[in-house]
Structure formats: C-alpha cells, structure tokens
Structure 1
Amino acid sequence: MSFQLSDEHETFRRSVREFAEGEISPHVAQWDRDHHFPVDLIHQMGDLGLFGLTAPEELGGAGGDFTSLCVAIEELGRVDQSIGITLEAAVGLGINPILTFGTTEQKERWLPDLVAGRSLAGFGLTESGSGSDASAMRTKAELDGDEWVVNGSKEFITNSGSEITSLITVAARTGQTERGRPEISAIVVPANTPGFAAEPPYDKLGWHISDTHPLTFDDARVPADHLLGERGRGYAQFLATLDDGRVAIAALAVGLIQGCLDACVRYAGERTTFGVPIGAKQGVAFQIADLAVKAQAGRALTYQAAAMKDAGVGGKAFKQAASIAKLYTSEAAVDATRIATQVFGGYGFMEEYPVARFYRDAKILEIGEGTSEVQRILIARGLGLPVE
C-alpha cells in the first residue's frame, strides 16, 4: 500500500503551514497562558475549509480524503497541539459519526454548521468508571413516548462546552441484550437541551487551549429521532470512529515530533558553547538525528494507515495499522519532547520556549483514543495471540 503524498497533498500542506505560522504561532503562547479557547480562529479554520475536508460537497464540504485531514492535523500540531486536537476531535469525533451513521435528515440538520466551522460537536463516551469497558457504562437513555430521557455523566470530553458547541453524541445504555449485556446506543443531545450541562472546564497539565469538560445529564429529553444509527449498535459505531481517530492522533503526534525537530535544529545552530554552536557537538547532533528518525518513521506509519483508509481497506488490517501508528507515534512524541527539552537545557524548562509547552502536551497522546496498553492488546490480538 503506497503512502506517498501527492503533489496536491503537499500543496495543501504548505497552505495549512502558512496559516498555522501566520495565524496561530504569534498568539499561541499567550493563549496557552490564559487557557483561552480562540473562537475567532476556529471560524478562520472553517473559512479555510479545514472542518469540511472529508464531508461531501452537498453538505458544504470539500469531498476530500482522510489523508488531507491528517496533513492538516499534523501541520496545526506542529505549531500547537491544542489547535490540532480541536480539529481532530471536531471532524473525527464530532462530524464523522453523523456523516457515517446519520440519516439524510440528520446530516442536513446538523452538519452544515459543523462543516463550516460555525459550531462544534463533542463525542461522549468516557465516564469516570468506564472507557474501553462498555459493560461499566452507567449513562442511561430510556425511551419515554417519542423522547429519549438521558441520565448520567461523561468525562474528558473535547469541544463539549465552548460557546459554539452545538451538540454532543452520547453513548448510553438503552436496554439489555438477549445475552444479558448492556445495549449501547448513540444519541445526539443538542447543547441547549434542558437537563444537559457542561460543567466547569478541567485544569489540565497540557492542551490548555482546547475545550474539555465533564458533562452531566439530568433527565435531559431529546426527540426519538435523535438516535444515531441503529439502536444497540452505538458501541460498535464508536469503536469504528476510534479506529479513524487513532490515525488522526498519530498525525497529531507526528506534528509534535516535527515541531520539536524544527525547534532543536534552529536552536542548536544558534546557541554556542565554548565558541561553537552546540549542534557541532556529537552529543547534541545525535539526539537531533534521533528526532529526525522518529519523525520519518512516524510519518510513514501514519500515512500508510491513512492511505489504507482512503483505499477502503478495512477490517483487521486497518485496525492493526491504526493501532501500530498510534502506539509508535504517541510514545515517540513523548520521547521527542524529552530530547528537545534536554537539547534546550535550562531554557527548555522555561515557558517562553515552545518545547516546554510541547513537553506538557505530549503525555496525553499516550492516553487519548485508547492508551498505549490498549493498543498493545489490539496489536497482539491482530497477531493471533490469545490476549485477554
């Protein structure tokens, strides 16, 4: 499977890089300090067409491929991870479930504003006691006449409480299967629904610019036609969504590695000790060379998986490629920030340099969209091992 980017992809990469360096880079340090979610920037990203990359033209999108989305996420993540995850979650977790599983009426109702970047949507799966374990999910939705009544809570939900958040797709228990297991369904809950609340934002280690909240549902009522996809198929839908999301997170991680590499090359050429640039010293040069290897290897794994997605290669092969890309790049990104901070020395510990922000932002990449441990389980299963 080829993962060579086309000339069109490279041209698109340059346009996103120019946007990121011109519109994000000058402000990102201040936004990070203030924990400011830049709504105006989100609208600019919408005008650039970033939220509609994979949506069809009849819904206002570009009708493009998944690889283009990964390119955009990588280039935004190269400058700032918070902005990169905002795009990744908005498209991969907000738009794509509706695009993939929604009815024509649901798509026409909710997608135009999301695709245009006028609003954002969240993806409500994780709870305090459940993530990958669907049987531990406690949020419930009961059908009362022609309405779903949702009760429960969700944790760590991105794009869920901003001033332009329009809806959350929520995984909830809607009954019990014949085998006695929870029946999980996906239900769309608009942001203005009485009984639904986005609680105060988290005080996070990193991703200070992104919008992340716990959510509560207290007899939140929505029409029966807000069921997304088939009843009882919600968890399977979310798992399919997460496969795509793992590749997108890999692209975000590659952006972080590349950002560290770029910063280190510049710094090592400018900073002198004992009369020579530190980049002339093998101890530093070898560390930066390792960053280049991580960036190239991570990019190859990521775009190979993206090419598989675009070619319609699904099933176990795509799942395996997605998990491998996510596992390698997320762990490589954490290593890259450690190396970059070491190259910068004492300055790497100062918030005035981007490597300090990268260091804080990196760790979540090993946790979100399935932890490193989960990825190893999935990879092992894909190899035929009887992993529990």
Structure 2
Amino acid sequence: MTTIPAQRIVRGPAVLVLEDGRTFTGRAFGATGTTLGEIVFCTAMTGYQETLTDPSYHRQIVVMTAPHIGNTGINDEDQESEAIQAAGFVVRDPAPRPSNWRSRRSLEDDLRDSQIVGICDIDTRALTRHLRDAGTMRAGIFTGDVARRPLTDLTAEVLTVPRMSGARLAEQVSTSQPYVVPAVGECRAVVAAIDLGIKATTPRQLAARGVEVHVLPAATTYQQLWTIPGVTAGAAARAGGPDGVFFSNGPGDPATADDQVALVRAVLDAGIPGFGICFGHQLIGRALGFTTYKLPFGHRGINQPVLDRTTGRVEITAQNHGFAVDAPLDGPVAAPSDAAHGTTYGRVEVSHIGLNDQVVEGLRCLDIPAFSVQYHPEAAAGPHDSTHLFDRFMHQMTDGTTTTSEGEA
C-alpha cells in the first residue's frame, strides 16, 4: 500500500499582536499581508467553513480553539454567504492536505484566493485563556516582511481599529437587492426576512416548511413590507404583505440599529408575527424596551448549552454573538416600551437562558405573536436541537399558536 506524503509547505513569518501588547509568534497561513479587527474565539470542533462565511464575523479575527483545522477542505455546498466574512483566521495546526469526498480545494487555498490573512503554529489554548480573562479586544495579524517591523509600530496600528461597541455593520453585509427563496412544495406562508447578515441556511429552513421567503435589505422600511409581490397565504394573510417578519443574525452593536428597531416596533404594533435570532433577537429586545450590553468575550461555537424554560429541555446550540439583552430572569414582566412609547405589547418573559453564564438567550411575548432567541436554530454545521423553532414560527403565522410537534405550550 502506497502512502501519499503530505505536501511540504514553506511558510513565512507571522505575528499576532493584541491591543494590550501581548504577542504570539507563528507562521503565515493564507494570504500574506496585514489584517486588523476584533479578535474572538470559536469553540466549535467542526464547521470552520460555515464559521468563516458567517456574516456575523464581519470585521473579526476568528481564533479556532480546536487544534487541528482544515482536514475536510472546502466544498461548494456549505457556504453561508458568497465569500469569507471573517477579517482573519488563527489556528494551531493546519491540515497538510484535505481528506473528504466533497472537498474541492484546501482551506489555505481558499483563504489565499480570498485575500484572508491568517496565522498558524501558535498556542491557541494560551490565546483563548488570555481572551477569556482579559476579554475580546482589537488585534492584528502581520505576515511576511511586515511581521519584522518594530512591535511598537504594529501595536500602534492595532490601536487605530474602531471598537465593536458603537459599530453599525449590518448594512455592510446585507443584500443590496431583494431576492426570493421559493417555498418547497405548497406555499403555506410568505415571510419577509430582514437581512442583517443572514446565513444561507436560514431561508432554506423556512422554505422547507412551505414558506416563500423574501430576503430584504437591512434598510427596509415598514411601508416597503406592503409592496412584496406574489401570493399571500396562512391564517394571518394580508393582501400584498407578509404573513410574518423574520429578523436575522448579523454583526455590530445593536445599540446603533435605531432604524431597524423602529421597523420591529411597527411590525409588533401591527400584530404581524415576528421571529428574531441573534442580532434580530437583540433588536426585538430593544423594541420591547430592554437594553443591550457587550459581553466580556461573547459566545461563539456550536456547543453552547441553553435551557428552554418553557419545556425544561436543555438544547445544545450554535451561537455567535458579542452582545446580549438585559432583561429580568424572574418574569413575566410588562414590556418596558409600553409606558415609554404608548404601546401595548403586554407581558414578556425570558424563555431561554445560557447555562454557562445565565445570559438571556430568548424572549417570548405572551400577548402578541413575537419571540426571539439569541442563538442560531438553523445551526449549520449543527447541532439541530433547536430547528423546531421554525415550526413555532410557522404555527404563529398559520394558526395563531406557538404549539409545535415538540409539544411546546
């Protein structure tokens, strides 16, 4: 039996510089040059292709905590957007060659072709522990000749990066033109999906349930929801408008998204069923009158445990967020927006909590048809514990309930 040797790759010098002055010296991985951004760590052991192409990672340098990355290569089916969205990539041991029947090219070739600068051969465990203790921060990866510049110069360049707090980024990754993902089989409902950085798997999950999904730009107004062409369906059908509105994941600080919060409020005021995930969850939280805040190091990975307080089940979830909603865990409570804006959203409860740190992971309105979760129920590359939330949304649109096949109340 003949063994094909791994290709020997000659790598140039590289250095990772954090804004607090800590450095990690390694070797270049991907394109040569400089990249800057907020550095975060992802605890997923698989799904690096989905991670890299998730628009929520826009302007972030991603550290993979799993040590061996790249062994399955890159295929043409698992992209969550049209291009790599992360600003940079940090791994310990890159696979010398891909080994998977779906692979079309290597991870490093994909990074190089996409002009994504990365670094390998560093102690990612030590880096992760440092970020866990010190919090996410600005960083830069410098490879090739630039890596030999004085550290003071490199650190000064890192400090020019805008912080994520106060960053308005959804419009930068949103679609510029509306497009439609048709329903699979009979059309049961029409949904307007506000693209704040939507992942490709999300419309497919809805379409598989008989939903015609109209993906709309982040700057969509409430008036534009009533110009959606095509059929209307479902018990809550509105002539020329959607049966439900979905607010997607996306990057940036939710405190900057006043236009989108105004859209959420208009949807809630009209009684249109609403469902938000990740960034969309934070916008629904703001619309209801809660505030948001930045987490020390966020939740990123496909192994995050969440308690569904409605069912008592613990679900393993996929997450990617650095901000969270500040809402009381001992609800239900009256929506704070009611008094401030003269609205009648009624009672709201925290429906899900993160078991690692008790962060709010879901909100559920008890008097209007709206709910949200902080995590990703579409969950590519997994896990799939929470896909039933799309069924809950379907029930809200078609029969006005939140009962699902999972037996939810």
* Higher normalized strand content (fraction of residues): 2
What TM-score do you get using the length of structure 1 for normalisation?
0.24
Q: Which structure has greater helix proportion? A: 1
Greater RCO (Cα-Cα under 8 Å, separation 6 or more): 1
